[in-house]
Structure 1
Amino acid sequence: MPMAVFILGLAVFAQGTSEFMLSGLLPDISADLGVSLSQAGLLTSAFAIGMVVGAPVLAAATLHWPRRRSLVLFLSVFAAAHVVSALTPDYAVLLAARVVSALANAGFWAVAAAAAVAMVPAGARARALAIVVGGVTVACVAGVPAGAVLGQLWGWRSAFWAVAVLSALSAVAILRALPSGTARRTASTSPSTTGGGVRAELRALADRRVVVTYLLNALIQGATFCAFTFLAPLVTEVAGFGEGWVPGMLVLFGAGAFLGITLGGRLGDAHPMRVLGYGMTALTAGWAVLALAGGNQVVLVTLVFLQGLLAFGLAPALASRAYQLAAGAPTLAGAFATAAFNVGAAAGPGLGGLALDAGFGFRAPVWVSAGLMVPALAVLAWAVLLERRAAHAPVSRA
């Protein structure tokens, strides 16, 4: 595996840490900037909205840019936005900086996914994508709790400084690892898209099964990040743990996520629909039990791990299915998958914040997570129906 693929994973680790670390910093940000907890939660939603808008737009806009220049540019903007975030005393400026960070992150993802695929043979593409996407799960295991620890020791701003430094170091590493003249499109890219550009890739995304897969992804991530964003108050206010337990709970969730994506990567290619069916059913039940019994510390600790495992264990099956069904759109398939992921990551915390503001208590976001999984199961049934129809009409899809 080329070293550049691992460097891309390092950069994704830095960006993933930034996206998710607020779950352990929200109370401090809320107190420091004089805003409510739900307003602080909107910083996560703002980042996700920027990813939703930026992923497909920047993927199309930079389709023919040199990879190294694109990656370094996006990482540099990302690092600069975090410097602004660390310095500002104003909530509105921090919110704007989160949007800029998200746009840069979306642009990076638009290039990085296609770059990783193009650098390896066809038989190693899934493994290359797993390394890049694995940066997100490592962020959950190490980066997010590390950000929480930094926040407790030196204030929430120190976590933003750490992300800025790591992003800058990743940009330097990419400058060294990737050749300067490598174009975004190469002969190794899928021949079905060569010469067709954006329109050809959009046509490849027209399959209803692809759209349903994206919808499924958005609902699952909405449920996941609704509960994850407000995990800190659930741990301290509902289960009665001290604030010092919050980083440990984030580590536990991340450890489950890491194990889940590892197992899901092995099972998702062989039995994607079975993994989705069993996994989503268990995930739904887990959110409901956590909402009911989250005040029990043993139940909370157990389910934080299991829910991380289940939620991220579904990710490889969803990703591989999207790339398989949209093989003619190697760049935009990943961009729209990123957008779908972040639609959920934006909507979930937003809905959880509304439930908190309505006075339903700190368990409310977990109930919202369970509720979002109900339509997700209905969408899965739709996906199964479309799959069966496609299996009985091979000629019409040829």
Structure 2
Amino acid sequence: MPAGLIALALGGFGIGLTEFVIAGLLPQVARSLTVSEAAAGWLISGYALTVVVGALVVTAATAALPRKAVLIGLVALFVAGNLLSAVAPDYRLMLLGRIVAALCHGTFFGIGSLVARRLVAPERASRAVAVMFAGLTVANVLGVPFGALVGERWGWRATFWAITAIGVVAGIALAALIPSWAGTIDQADGNGSSADGLRAQLRAFRSGQVWLTLAATALGYGGMFGAFSYLAYTFTEVTGFSSTDVAWLLVVYGTGLVIGNVVGGRGADRDRDRTLLVSLAGLAVTLALFGLLAASPVASVVLVFLTGLFGFATVPGMITRVTDHAHGVPLAAGANVSASNVGNALGAWLGGLALSAGLGYTAPLYVGAAIVLAGLAVLAVAARGTARPVPESADLGGTG
């Protein structure tokens, strides 16, 4: 495995911690900064909204720059945001720190996925992307318990100091382990201009396949996270688990994410569209069964694992699919991250509507299944429209 992939995974791990760790720290942060828990919740939603916008704006602004330099700069932004959070004397600066850190999120994973592909042979592209995203999936498993443990022992600020240190190490690793040739831009479009120019990037969005893949990404994520957002209520109000059981149940879910990421990457390198279709179908069936069997503790444990597995098995293939059909422009990779976060918000909103309508604590699972089925239908249309594989662009080629 190229050492550069490990550096990318370490960066993904730090960014993933930043996203997830705050959930276990909200009560401490709210008390320390003397704000309501509702206001503290904006430290999560503000981050997510910034990811959606930043993935597009920052990617477009940096598209013509050498990608290795951009990745190192993004990690520097990540370090600055977490450092500000660690020392913030009040809520406004804490929120600003979260926003600054979030600006790097989507662009790091978007550009990082393109760099990861260049480090390996073309037939291993999805597996390379999966290695990078492994850092994010591990952070999902460890993020909340890590934050809670460090925060409980040394205070919530210590958690952000620790994440800042991880960012520094990731930046050094990227500088040392990413080959310069993997982070350069050497592709030209048909007119002889840089393929990373903004005009060329926007032209990539003329492709119907790009839009269909982005829609399938949003719906697939939306269904999974729409259900996930309310799992704690399902576990405690329907299954009968105690509130203290929720933490280890989320670890089971996170373990499914980790395994699904690996399996999905390998499957996508063999037959990408089939892997994506099977994963989305598996996720829809899993969520529907979860709704039916939520009263069973054993079934719930198995099904929450499968939710994570099928849900994240789509990630490597979706990234490589959208960048192939966009001919490798970074903005498409960033748009894929934005689409996933839009899906998260949509799924959580629709699941909340179902709860508000009095449909019960299993309703978000059925809503999630319906959203995923819509994503499956979109991807099926996209797959039928690709009679021939899209040629790999020179920029996405590997070292062989």
CA shift for structure 1 position 309: 0.7
C-alpha deviations, 1:101-150, integer Å up to 9, x for none? 22122333344233333444545543432221222222233344433444
Q: State whether structure 2 residue 142 is matched by structure 1 residue 142.
A: yes
Q: Distance in 2 between matches of 1:297 and 1:25?
A: 28
Contact kept, 8 Å, 1:351 with 1:368, in 2: the verdict is yes
What secondary structure does 1:64 align onto?
A: coil
RMSD across aligned C-alpha pairs, in angstroms?
A: 3.5
Q: 1:104 to 1:211 in 2, by over 3 A?
A: same
Q: Distance in 1 between matches of 2:368 and 2:151?
A: 27
Give the stretch that moved more between structures: 1-10 or 135-144: 135-144
Contact kept, 8 Å, 2:222 with 2:345, in 1: the verdict is yes
Contact kept, 8 Å, 1:24 with 1:246, in 2: the verdict is no
CA shift for structure 1 position 190: 7.1
Residue aligning to 2:278: 278
Q: Distance in 2 between matches of 1:360 and 1:92?
A: 38
CA shift for structure 1 position 270: 2.9
Residue aligning to 1:395: none
Q: State whether structure 2 residue 94 is matched by structure 1 residue 100.
A: no
Contact kept, 8 Å, 1:226 with 1:351, in 2: the verdict is yes
What secondary structure does 2:241 align onto?
A: coil
What secondary structure does 1:186 align onto?
A: coil
Q: Which ranges of structure 2 fall in alignment gaps of 5 or more residues?
A: 389-400
Contact kept, 8 Å, 1:83 with 1:160, in 2: the verdict is yes
Q: Distance in 1 between matches of 2:348 and 2:154?
A: 26
Contact kept, 8 Å, 1:24 with 1:232, in 2: the verdict is no
Residue aligning to 1:380: 379
Q: State whether structure 2 residue 53 is matched by structure 1 residue 53.
A: yes
CA shift for structure 1 position 300: 1.9
Contact kept, 8 Å, 1:261 with 1:312, in 2: the verdict is yes
Q: Distance in 2 between matches of 1:227 and 1:61?
A: 34
Superposed, which structure 2 residues align to 1:25-174 within 5 Å? 35=36, 43-88=43-88, 94-151=94-151, 157-174=157-174
Q: Distance in 2 between matches of 1:22 and 1:229?
A: 15
Residue aligning to 2:294: 294
Give the stretch that moved more between structures: 41-50 or 356-365: 356-365
Q: Distance in 2 between matches of 1:100 and 1:288?
A: 38
Residue aligning to 1:335: 334
* Structure 1 length-normalised TM: 0.82
What secondary structure does 1:270 align onto?
A: helix
Q: Distance in 2 between matches of 1:31 and 1:296?
A: 37
Give the stretch that moved more between structures: 169-178 or 88-97: 88-97
Q: Distance in 2 between matches of 1:226 and 1:26?
A: 21
Give the count of matched residue pairs. 387
Among all aligned residue pairs of Structure 1 and Structure 2, give the percentage whose two residues are the same amino acid.
37
CA shift for structure 1 position 219: 0.9
Residue aligning to 2:368: 369
Amino acid at match of 2:365: V
Superposed, which structure 2 residues align to 1:201-280 within 5 Å? 201-280=201-280
Q: Distance in 1 between matches of 2:356 and 2:156?
A: 24
Q: 1:106 to 1:320 in 2, by over 3 A?
A: closer
Q: Distance in 1 between matches of 2:155 and 2:88?
A: 13
C-alpha deviations, 1:59-103, integer Å up to 9, x for none? 221123244443333222222322333455766654443332221
Q: Distance in 2 between matches of 1:45 and 1:35?
A: 15
CA shift for structure 1 position 28: 6.2
Q: Distance in 1 between matches of 2:137 and 2:156?
A: 21
Q: Distance in 2 between matches of 1:364 and 1:151?
A: 34
What secondary structure does 1:269 align onto?
A: helix
* Structure 2 length-normalised TM: 0.81
